[in-house]
Structure 1
Amino acid sequence: MRIGFWKISAGLLVGLLALYLVNPLGTASHDPRLRLLGIAPFSQPSASMAPTLAPGRLILVSAWAHAVSEPQRGEIVVFLPPEGEAAFVKRLVALPGDRVALKQGRLLVNGETVDEPYLHPAPAFGPRHGQDMAERSLAADEYFMLGDHRDNSKDSRHFGPVGRKAFFGRVEKAF
């Protein structure tokens, strides 16, 4: 007995729809490329990650990265901010359970100053890399995100920590 083209196509379509809805990679994105393939292109929308990522730069995001391992400090992540409609691209600087603070333009995680060679150069005069922030402890499933261009970045200093379920994936490559 031969199965018709339309029956095979319908079965494949139902299977892909089921896979999309199950979302086995756990990405917050509704982009079918991330949900079905685990990888998708995005465009860096702002200068908040300069000089690491210039505005308009094409980036490749992998949902597989966080499906097989936990997010790591220092990774560049695409996520949906709390009460946000557009995806943000920021550096993950603190993990659940960490204590994070900003003092005199320096990032402190668990009381230790973090070396950040990727930061946008600080202005010659005035405050170094934005405002200070009192130390705060992150709860389970809270991640702290900062832009590399701290003086031009809306990040966790403004909207607070981000939950793991808000992650689309890790930036794997920039073009």
Structure 2
Amino acid sequence: MKRGLTKRGRTGQMAKAGEKKDGGLVETIKTIFWALVIAGIFRTLFFQPFWIPSGSMKDTLLIGDFLFVNKMAYGYSRYSCPFSMCPFEGRILESEPERGDVVVFRHPVNGSDFIKRLIGLPGDTVQMRQGRLYLNGSPVEVEPDGQFEEVYARQGPMGYYPQCENAPVGEGGACLKSRYRETLPGGSSHSILNIRDGFFSDNTPLFTVPEGHYFFMGDNRDNSQDSRYARANGGVGFVPAENLIGRADRVMFSSAGRSLFFVWTWRPDRFFKKIE
């Protein structure tokens, strides 16, 4: 008749079980580590996810749009890496952005990521007069394009209410804004919105864009903190070239609700929508 395991045998089996458990933990840690490394490389060199938290780029981009930023478009700077950890100054493999690009960049003061439309290139003069954009002394072509309508209700996780040209509007009412089609020199065409006339954003000083910098504006012209506002006043000012992170080309996913899990608030018509 077989006898039970000896103490030495039991100890050996326990040791092997412990080694297997420790080995499994080590493999799990290695897998997580390399997954993070690969994700970091992908995010640094190729595409960075970006979620739209505000209405400054309506109706091109809506609150709740989710997109990937093309980081290969303009080359790389220290802001290309997570936490701005790339160990170099300036830009490498640099390509010049084009007027009209929708660009994600690092705010020169507060360090947050912003998304706006590139309006002024180095050496350009930019000015708003009575709500009309002037580039290098000439008015930019613009024509009426109907109205943009949305429901007056809280939007996105932050719960912001939209601003309306037809204010005041009650909860659940139709919030309207005049829409125009603006065509920049070079042929880039896009929608812009108007909320009110005579606001500061409609009449600005004459800006001359310095070398190595760019001038950005939001498409929702009366609801955008951008290069029209000095940094001291909470604006963006001129953005250095090294602060550019990448170009936004396409909306991948969109949700109008307070959470991505609210399936009934998804916007299927915006999935994979090209950004103009």
Same fold (TM over 0.5): yes
State the alpha-carbon separation in 2 of the partners of residues 147 and 33 from structure 1. 28
Task: Check the 8 A contact 2:119/2:215 in 1, yes or no.
Answer: yes
1:77 aligns with 2:150: no
Q: CA deviation at 1:135?
A: 1.0
1:104-153 Cα distance to aligned partner (Å, 9 max, x none): 11111111112324101x24x63378331111211111100000001111
Task: Check the 8 A contact 2:226/2:237 in 1, yes or no.
Answer: yes
Structure 1 match to 2:274: none
Q: Which has the higher contact order (CA 8 A, sep 6+)?
A: 1
Structure 2 match to 1:25: none
Superposed, which structure 2 residues align to 1:21-170 within 5 Å?
A: 32-36=41-45, 38-67=46-75, 69-115=95-141, 116=182, 117-120=190-193, 122-123=194-195, 126-127=197-198, 130-158=201-229, 159-170=236-247
1:32-89 Cα distance to aligned partner (Å, 9 max, x none): 53323x2122101110000000012011201111126310110000001111232100
Q: CA deviation at 1:91?
A: 0.2
Q: TM-score, normalised by structure 1?
A: 0.75
**Paired residue type of 2:122:** P
> What is the RMSD of the two structures over their aligned residues, measured on CA atoms?
2.5
**Paired residue type of 2:42:** R
State the alpha-carbon separation in 2 of the partners of residues 50 and 63 from structure 1. 23
Task: Check the 8 A contact 1:105/1:129 in 2, yes or no.
Answer: no
State the alpha-carbon separation in 1 of the partners of residues 139 and 202 from structure 2. 16
Task: Check the 8 A contact 2:201/2:228 in 1, yes or no.
Answer: no
Task: Check the 8 A contact 2:99/2:119 in 1, yes or no.
Answer: yes
Greater C-alpha radius of gyration: 2
Structure 1 match to 2:261: none
Structure 2 match to 1:172: 249
Matched residue count: 149
State the alpha-carbon separation in 2 of the partners of residues 35 and 111 from structure 1. 39
State the alpha-carbon separation in 1 of the partners of residues 103 and 95 from structure 2. 14
Inter-CA distance 85–103: structure 2 relative to 1 (3 Å threshold): same
State the alpha-carbon separation in 1 of the partners of residues 109 and 199 from structure 2. 29
**Paired residue type of 1:133:** T
SS of residue paired to 1:173: strand
State the alpha-carbon separation in 2 of the partners of residues 106 and 163 from structure 1. 25
Unaligned runs of 5+ in 1: 1-5, 18-30
Task: Check the 8 A contact 2:132/2:202 in 1, yes or no.
Answer: no
